[in-house]
Structure 1
């Protein structure tokens, strides 16, 4: 068997799949907000959390949506998480009633940083890896730590070599 790079154990997500999984996340969160089951606002962690947050906001009829911009990846290598843009301070408070949405929790560094800022927020991701699972309150699908998730916004249609061999 040939040596494969970590990103070559890929889990490819289509637009249809991210839509279905984001709707499933919304259904799981429905009725669990602190205001008679409702959420005060949704905060998307950009950029990956924007599509799932939009779908969750639509499904749960949440009209107040903001973003927090956190950079932790440089292409496919992860570095220190840094906040580039914060959501509205007055709306956020300590995070009570706020639903923070991201596409994936990997190592948990990004969510750890945001959780320090808003400790009472509810953190939800569509996908989760074992190292970061403790940082997320709600998720839909868990994948192994060595799986690289290819999201539809990062993809183009092209030929792909078979996983094992070329015969």
Structure 2
């Protein structure tokens, strides 16, 4: 992510739910999947929606921290690894595992998980060009200089018109 994104893309709860269901719809023919690995924290909400829609009961997490100040992507840290039972299933390379995240930005987080489970199917709701090659399925591509404002990061407040800042 660029240090100072030039565009903001606010996503409401309703829109995010529709986009997560659209992702589930796209995934129906990509399986079968016996487990979901969601990348926390952003992957928790879409993983819940997709698990329901695809009737997947085995859900695990991998906890990777990258945005330590909500603005700049820093050093990646694996805070919690994938459980051994999911990691070792089907030969240990991720076959039949669905990895879910809200967004792929630079692709750094996706690369860590891809290295762990090279045969897993990686799906995100949103994708940026730098991370796009690491994703098998996504719903919406946004430009690299766009900062997505997810519903769990926002409250109700006034939004200035787009052109308000450009008037001299």
Name the TM-score, length of structure 2 as normaliser: 0.90
1:66 aligns with 2:60: yes
Partner of 1:121: 120
Partner of 1:41: 35
C-alpha deviation, 1:8, in angstroms: 5.2
Partner of 1:25: 23
The whole-number CA distance in structure 2 between the counterparts of 1:94 and 1:130 is 26
Indicate the SS of the match to 2:155: coil
Quick check: 1:102–1:125 contact (8 Å CA) kept in 2? Answer: yes
Quick check: 2:43–2:102 contact (8 Å CA) kept in 1? Answer: yes
Partner of 2:158: 159
What 5-or-longer segments of structure 2 have no aligned partner?
A: none
C-alpha deviation, 1:87, in angstroms: 1.9
State the Cα deviation string for residues 29-63 of structure 1 (Å, max 9, x = none): 10321xxxx20100110000000000000000001
Indicate the SS of the match to 1:131: coil
Q: Kindly tell me the number of residue pairs found equivalent between the two proteins.
A: 159
Quick check: 1:14–1:151 contact (8 Å CA) kept in 2? Answer: yes
Instruction: Give the 3 Å change call, closer, same or farther, for CA 139–59 of structure 1 in structure 2.
Output: same
**Structure 1 moving runs of 4+ over 3 Å:** 5-8
The whole-number CA distance in structure 1 between the counterparts of 2:38 and 2:117 is 13
